[in-house]
Amino acid sequence: MNGGWFPMKWKVIEKSKLPILIEELTKEYEVFAPVKEKNVASFERVSPENQPSLDFRNTKKPLKEVFSPQTETVFTYRTDKKDVEIVEPPAVKGKMVLLDVRPCDARSFVLLDKFFSSGEHKDVYYLERRKNTTIVGLACNSPLSTCFCTSMGGSPFGKEGVDLLLQDINNKYLIETVTERGEELLKKFPWLKDAEKADTERAKKLSEEAENAVKSKVSVKDVVEKLDRMFNDPLWDQIYQKCLGCGVCTFLCPTCYCFDILDEEGKRVRIWDSCQFPCFTLEGSGHNPRPSGKERMRQRVMHKFNYVVKNYGEIFCVGCGRCVQECPVNLDIREIIRAISARQVE
Amino acid sequence: MSNPYIPNLAVIRKITRENEANDIKTFELVSKNPEAMKNFRYRCGQFAEISVFGAGECPIGIASSPMDEDYIQFTVKKVGVVTTALHNSEEGTVLGVRGPYGNGFPMERMEGRNVVIVGGGFAFTTLRSLTKFILHEANRDRFKDLTVIYGARDPGELIYKYDLEAWGKKDDINLNVTIDRAFPGWTGLVGLVPAILKEVAPSSDNAIAIICGPPIMIRFTMPVINELGFHPENVFLSLEMKMKCGIGKCGRCNIGNKFVCKDGPVFAYKELEMMPKEY
Amino acid sequence: MENIENSIREVAEKLLSEKKVDLIIGYEQGTLPLRTTPCFVDKVEDIKKLVWNASCDANLSKYVLGRKEKIGVIAKGCDARLIAVCAIEKQFPRENVVIIGVPCLGVIDRKKIEAKLGDKEVLEATVEDEQIKVKGEGFELVLPKKDFLCDSCLTCKHRNPPICDVFVGEKVPENTEADEFAEVSDLEAKSAEERWQHFKEELSKCIRCYACRNVCPLCYCKMCFVDQTMPAWFGKTNDLSDTIIYHVVRAFHVAGRCVDCGACSRACPMDLNLRELIKKTEKIMKERYGYEAGVSLEEVPPLGEFKMEDPEEFIK
C-alpha cells in the first residue's frame, strides 16, 4: 500500500481536546499514560488523581512492566500438608490502552512478543495482557542525544508495535491508524476530524527532521558475526572493570526479560532478575559458570547482540538510551558496540 | 493457551535413603490425578521441576524408567532451600511436578548399537533411568552390548545399591562399579571413573557413549573417550545449570544461544565443542 | 582545576613509570555532558586520559578491593575516608594502595540540574570557576555552581582527604560552619507517623536494582544478606514490605562506617533520597561515641569494639 493518500487512515485532534478523548477512554479501558511526579515521568494508570503529562521525553522505567510486572503472582496455593490447592490468578479481564508510547518502547513489545510466544511453552501471563492491549504511540519530534533507535532498526516516527501513532504537528496531533485494532479504537470517537493534506505533509517533514536529529549512531553491521568469534577475546577483561554489577541497565532495558521464581507463604511469585547479579547462575553445589563481572558483562552483550539474533532473528536493543543515561558509572553500551565493531578478530 | 507454570500435584508414596551420609534420597511420587499420570510420558534423561510448596521449585532428573508406568522417581541431593525442604518432607506430602522437560537421551541413535554409560557420583540418576530402560525385557534386544561404568567416592556414597546388585547378576550388561579409593570391606573395583573406563576399554565400534558426572570427572573422562576412538557426534553429555522455569523463559540456563533446559540437558560432544565454554 | 588535573597526571605518571604501582584508577571524560567515568590506566601513554573536575563523582574506592596489583587511586576526601575504613576492616593489603589525595570543593548533582531544566536536555556543559554553563536545543543558561552541588558536599567537613599517601595541589579551607545534620534534624522534628509516611512514599519507588549497594565501597560482602537463601531473611520482590527491610538493614550495615559520600543517592535511577536514613546513624555515632569514620587508621570503629566507658543507658 504505497503512494496515494488514504483519507480514512488519518485523523486529527486538537491538543486541547486530547484530555476529553482520554477521559472517554477511561470509561471503557484501563488507560496507562506517562504521569509526571517531580519531573520524572512514569507510566501510571490514568485516574482523576493521575493525569497524563504530554510533555515528556521518555519514562524512566520501560513499559515492559505493564505486561510483565516486576513482581507478579504466578499462582496462590492453600495447603494443609495432605493436600494442596493451586489457584491460578484471575483471567485478565478488561482491555488496556497504553497511551503515548514512544516508538522505541513500542518496538520493544514486538521483540518481547517474539520471545514470550516462542517455543512449545508460551508465557500466558505476558501474552494475555498483551492481547488485551491497544498501543497508542507518540512519535518523537525531538530525540534525545542518547537516543540511537535508528541504528537499532527503529525510528522516531516508527510504527512497529503501535496500533495508532500520535504525531505532534504543533497545536494538533495527527492520528495515524496502523492496525485494525487501532481502527477499532478510533471508531469509538466518531467526532474526530479527518486530517488534511497539510497535516500529513507537516508530519512527514517532522518525521524526516526527527530522523536526522538522531545524532547518536552505532553500527551493528558486523557486530553479530564478530561476536561469534569473540567469546575468549581479551576485550572483555577491559570492558567490565568499571561495571558495578548492579541491575540498573537490565531493569531499565525495555527488552530485558529475565526473571526469578520464588515461593512465599501462600504464593509463588516471579520477579525481575538480572544476569549482572552474582547469584543469577550460582548453582546449589556452589559452582558458578559466571563467577565474575567479566563473564556476566560478556553474557549481557553476547545475549543481546548475538544469542537472541540466532534464536529470534533480532538484536534485543531498541536504542532507547535509558541504560546510557542511568548507568551510575557511565558505562556506555554504544562504546562497547563500537569497540566490538572496531576489533580485529581472527 | 495452557499455563506452563502451574504444577501438577503428586504425592510422595515412598522415600528411600540412598547413601550413608543420608543426604541423597529417592522420592517415589504418584500423581493425584490418574489422567495426569498417564499423560506424563517421558524419555530417559529428561527432568521435571519439583515444587515443595512454600519452599520453591527445583529441576531434578527423572530417575525412574519410562517403563514404570504408575509412579515416577526422583533422586535428590540435599544442597539448598528446596532440596532441604524436600528431605524434610514425609511420605504423604503433596508436591508439585512440572514437566517432563528437556530433550532426554537420543534413544534413536542408540538403537542397534553398543551403549557405553559412564556416570559419577550423584549424577548417575538419569543414567539409572536409561540403564533400567535398556535392560527391560521389552527393550533389550533393540540395543547391543551394554557397558556401564559407575563410580562414587566410597561405598557409602553409591546410590541405587539395590539396582546395582540386581544388575550384577545379569549377563546382558557389563557392569563396572568402582570407588575412588580402597575402602575396608570393599572387594569391587577401585579407581576413579576415567581410570576404570580406560581399563574396561569398551570398543567405540558402532557405539554411543553417554556420560554424566561432576565437571571434574567429565574433564578427565573425555580424553579417555577420545583415545578409545569415540567420535564427538557419538558421545553425549548431560549438563547441569541453575534452572528456574525449565521452559527456556527465565533466561538463566543458557550456554551461548542454547538453553540447557530446552535444547538440553543432553548435548552431543560435537555440539558442545561449538558452544562457549560457560558451564 | 586545570592545575590539579595536570598535577594528578604528573603524580600518576611518576608512580606508574617508577613501577611503584601497576595500575592507576582515576577518572576520564564520560560520554555525556557533566559526566566522568572510572578509568583504569596501566600504561604511561594513557595517563593523559585522566581528568579532574566537578563531575568526578564516582567513588573510586570501590575498585580498590579484590585487586592483586599495586594500585594508585585518585581519592577525594570522602573516597579516602572510605579506603581508610576498608583498610581498618582489613579488606585489602594497605601497602598495595597509594592513596592520591585530591582536595575537593564538591561534585555537581546532575539530578538538581535535571530538575531545574525539566525536559530540556543538556547537550554541552562547561564548568568555569563557580559557574556551570549549560547549552541545549534552544537554550543557554549559566547556573551558580553552589546551588547545584550534591547535598552531601554542601556540609562536607573533609574537603581535604584526612588520610592519603600523596597529596595533590593546595589544601582548601574546610567548611566549619554548615550543620551537617540539618536534614536529620528536620526528619527528627516530624512525628513518627509523618516519618513513616515519608519513608513509605520514598521507598515505594525502589526497583531493587541494588545500584546503591553496588556503588558503595562498604558493601563488599561476598554474599549479601539479600541473596542468602538459607535462611532467606526477607523477600526479593519490589513490594514495599520487602523493600523497606532491604534499605533499613543496609543502613544498619553501614552505620558507623558511612562517610556520606552521596554515591548511593547519585546512583539511584529512581532518584530516591537514600542518604537521610543513613545520615541519622551517622549523627548517632557522632553524638554517642564522638566517632567519625575514616579519619584515623588507628581508631577501631565503635561498633567493632567495646569500651568500659561506653554509654549504656539503654540497659535498664
CB of B252 less than 8 A from some CB of A: yes
| pLDDT (0 to 100) of residue C2 | 66
**Whether residue C1 has pLDDT greater than 60:** no
- The H or E element that residue A177 is part of is strand A172-177
Query: What ipTM goes with this model?
Result: 0.94
Residue from C223, C228, C230 whose CB has the most chain B CBs within 10 Å, to mutate:
C230
| pLDDT (0 to 100) of residue A81 | 65
Residue C184 CA to residue C271 CA, distance in Å, equals 18
**Whether residue A4 has pLDDT greater than 60:** no
Q: In this structure, are residues B182 and B190 in contact, taking their beta carbons and an 8 Å threshold?
A: yes
Looking at residues C82-86, what average pLDDT do you find? 96
Contact yes or no for B80 and C229 at CB 8 A: yes
**Residue from B212, B10, B189 nearest B119 by CA:** B212
- From B101, B121, B154, the end of a domain falls on B101
Q: Is the domain of B165 the same as that of B86?
A: no
- From B74, B101, B128, the end of a domain falls on B101
Residue C71 CA to residue C22 CA, distance in Å, equals 6
**Whether residue A6 has pLDDT greater than 60:** no
Distances (CA, A) of B188 to B131, B213, B217: 20, 20, 20
**Total of domains in chain B:** 2
Contact yes or no for B245 and A257 at CB 8 A: no
**Binning pLDDT at 50, 70 and 90, where does residue C308 land?**
confident
Helices (H) and strands (E) in chain A, counts: 13, 12
CB of B36 less than 8 A from some CB of A: no
**Whether residue C223 has pLDDT greater than 80:** yes
Q: How far is B131 from chain A (nearest CA, A)?
A: 26
pLDDT single digits (tens) A133-167: 999 999 999 999 999 999 999 999 999 999 999 99
Q: Is the domain of B122 the same as that of B25?
A: no
Residue of chain A whose alpha carbon sits nearest to that of C117 = A39
**How high is the mean pLDDT of chain A?**
93
Q: Is the domain of B70 the same as that of B85?
A: yes
Looking at residues A339-346, what average pLDDT do you find? 90
Query: How, if at all, do strands B266-268 and C71-75 pair?
Result: unpaired
Least confident of A89-98, A316-325, C47-56: A89-98
Q: How far is B93 from chain A (nearest CA, A)?
A: 6
**CATH at B61:** 2.40.30.10
Q: How far is A320 from chain B (nearest CA, A)?
A: 22
CB of C232 less than 8 A from some CB of B: yes
**Binning pLDDT at 50, 70 and 90, where does residue A345 land?**
confident
**Residue from B54, B114, B116, B107 nearest B85 by CA:** B54
Which residues of A are less than 8 Å from B57 in CB distance?
Answer: 261, 263, 268
Q: In this structure, are residues B227 and A84 in contact, taking their beta carbons and an 8 Å threshold?
A: no
Which residues of C are less than 8 Å from B80 in CB distance?
Answer: 229-230
Angle between helices B215-227 and B193-200 (to 10 degrees): 20
| pLDDT (0 to 100) of residue A244 | 96
Residue from A83, A115, A281 whose CB has the most chain B CBs within 10 Å, to mutate:
A281
Contact yes or no for C211 and A246 at CB 8 A: yes
**How high is the mean pLDDT of chain C?**
94
Q: In this structure, what C-alpha cell is assigned to residue A65?
A: 512492566
pLDDT single digits (tens) A104-113: 999 999 999 9
Residue of chain C whose alpha carbon sits nearest to that of B85 = C230
Q: Is the domain of B97 the same as that of B112?
A: no
Residue C29 or A40, more confident:
C29
User: Which parts of chain B register pLDDT below 50?
Assistant: none
Looking at residues C255-259, what average pLDDT do you find? 95
Residue from B79, B81, B86 whose CB has the most chain C CBs within 10 Å, to mutate:
B81
HSE-up (13 A, CA, CB side) for residue B270: 8
Q: Is the domain of B135 the same as that of B228?
A: yes
Which residues of C are less than 8 Å from B84 in CB distance?
Answer: 230
Q: Is the domain of B213 the same as that of B120?
A: yes
What's the domain range around B59?
8-101
Residues 304 to 343 of A: which have CB under 8 A from any B CB? 306-308, 310-311
A77: Cβ contacts below 8 Å, ≥ 6 apart: A84, A85, A86, A87, A266, A267, A268, B53
Domain annotation covers residue B2? no
Q: In this structure, what C-alpha cell is assigned to residue A122?
A: 508460551
**Binning pLDDT at 50, 70 and 90, where does residue A2 land?**
very low
pLDDT single digits (tens) A222-259: 999 999 999 999 999 999 999 999 999 999 999 999 99
| pLDDT (0 to 100) of residue A3 | 47
Q: Is the domain of B65 the same as that of B130?
A: no
Partners of chain C (3+ Cβ pairs below 8 A): A, B
| pLDDT (0 to 100) of residue A28 | 92
Least confident of B224-228, C224-228, C287-291, C305-309: C305-309
Looking at residues A302-314, what average pLDDT do you find? 96
Residue A127 CA to residue A67 CA, distance in Å, equals 8
Q: How far is B80 from chain A (nearest CA, A)?
A: 6
**Residue from A102, A176, A98 nearest A139 by CA:** A102
Q: Where are the domains of chain A?
A: 7-213, 223-342
Q: Is the domain of B68 the same as that of B148?
A: no
Contact yes or no for A88 and B6 at CB 8 A: yes
CB of C223 less than 8 A from some CB of B: no
Domain annotation covers residue B275? no
Which residues of B are less than 8 Å from C223 in CB distance?
Answer: none
pLDDT single digits (tens) A51-66: 888 788 899 999 999 9
Q: Is the domain of B230 the same as that of B115?
A: yes
Q: Is the domain of B33 the same as that of B125?
A: no
Least confident of A29-43, B42-56, C188-202: A29-43
Residue A26 CA to residue A46 CA, distance in Å, equals 7
DSSP 8-state secondary structure symbol assigned to residue B153: S
A74, A77, A282: residue with CB nearest B242: A282
Q: Please state the pTM of the whole predicted model.
A: 0.94
| pLDDT (0 to 100) of residue A7 | 52
Q: Is the domain of B183 the same as that of B118?
A: yes
Residue of chain C whose alpha carbon sits nearest to that of B80 = C230
Q: How far is B17 from chain C (nearest CA, A)?
A: 23
**Whether residue C219 has pLDDT greater than 50:** yes
- From B101, B124, B157, the end of a domain falls on B101
Instruction: Concatenate the DSSP letters of all residues of A1-20 into one string.
Output: --SS--GGGEEEEEGGGHHH
**Whether residue C311 has pLDDT greater than 90:** no
Q: In this structure, are residues A258 and A273 in contact, taking their beta carbons and an 8 Å threshold?
A: yes
Q: In this structure, are residues B118 and B197 in contact, taking their beta carbons and an 8 Å threshold?
A: yes
Domain annotation covers residue B255? no
Q: Is the domain of B196 the same as that of B140?
A: yes
Residue A258 or A80, more confident:
A258
Sign of CA dihedral C184, C188, C194, C197: positive
Looking at residues C125-148, what average pLDDT do you find? 95
**Residue from C82, C55, C81 nearest C1 by CA:** C55
